[in-house]
Amino acid sequence: MDYIPYYDVLRRTSLFHNMPDRDLDTLMASFAPYVRRYDRGELLLMAGYATREVGIVLEGEIVAAKPMPDGTAVVMAHMGPGGVFADVLAGGQSKSPVNVTAAIPCLVLYIPCEALLRPDSTMHPAHLQLLHNWLQTISDKYFALDRRLELLCCKSLRGRICLWLLEQREEAGADTFDTALTRAELASYLNCDRSALCRELSRMQEEGLLALFRRSFKLLAPDRLSQMVQ
């Protein structure tokens, strides 16, 4: 397969961040990855199973959700092009705690973990950079999990919403941002009922704290939101 049309997507990932074409050429030739298309709702990775491949979303969107004993599922992540998954699992023997599903039709590139961990004798500088990036990615996901725990420790729903909004604002670097999460997925992420989430967002909009338009948010009073996290 010709991977060149997807180089810009790969450069947006944490693993291949800003790598030039020549380095991507070298790594693609060395790793011999493969791609697979999925229909909406199709399972990419099942909870309880191990994997030895790192997945990268080239087209479409995926969602990772943790199945609960009562049959419900808690959304852990929603990724579009450039999203990386199974990068923490692939290097060990742990089984996936989440189901990864195609939110819409998608195309995914898979890199065998053995290719990442066992470079050839020349150890190309691009491969060394990739290993550094991989380690940074795992570290970032650890701290993201810590932030998620902090969010879930907020006793009030409004506190959880405010904390999530402020985190998104920080990531976007602006008061206006979009989210890939649907309202149902956001409710799952915040561990609340969808109706309760929608009611609280409507109240916050009426109070002049934010403006909503589908999946777009505009924070009108970030300082007040920060106070409500306490």
92 pLDDT higher than 80: no
DSSP letter at 33 equals: -
CATH of the domain at 131: 2.60.120.10
- Does residue 142 sit in helix, strand or coil? helix
Count of structural domains within the chain? 2
Residues 162, 91, single domain; the answer is no
Residues 166, 126, single domain; the answer is no
Residues 71, 135, single domain; the answer is yes
Tens of pLDDT, residues 9-27: 999 998 999 899 999 999 9
CATH of the domain at 208: 1.10.10.10
* Stronger pLDDT, 207 or 123, i.e. the higher one: 207
Residues 120, 176, single domain; the answer is no
Burial (CB count within 10 angstroms: exposed 0-12, middle 13-18, buried 19+), residue 195: exposed
Residues 167, 188, single domain; the answer is yes
Residues 145, 161, single domain; the answer is no
99 within 8 A of 73, measured Cβ to Cβ: yes
* Stronger pLDDT, 140 or 178, i.e. the higher one: 178
Residues 171, 209, single domain; the answer is yes
Residues 106, 33, single domain; the answer is yes
pLDDT for the residue 79: 92
Tens of pLDDT, residues 30-85: 888 999 999 999 999 999 998 999 999 999 999 999 898 888 888 888 899 999 99
125 pLDDT higher than 80: yes
* Stronger pLDDT, 107 or 142, i.e. the higher one: 107
Residues 21, 119, single domain; the answer is yes
Nearest to 65 by CA among 43, 81, 34, 39: 43
pLDDT for the residue 230: 61
Q: Which of 150, 169, 204 is the last residue of a domain?
A: 150
In the chain, DSSP assigns E strands to 34-38, 43-45, 53-59, 62-67, 73-79, 84-85, 99-102, 106-112, 176-178, 210-213, 216-219
Q: Determine the structural domain holding residue 86 and report its residue range.
A: 4-150
Residues 117, 190, single domain; the answer is no
Q: What global pTM score does this model have?
A: 0.72
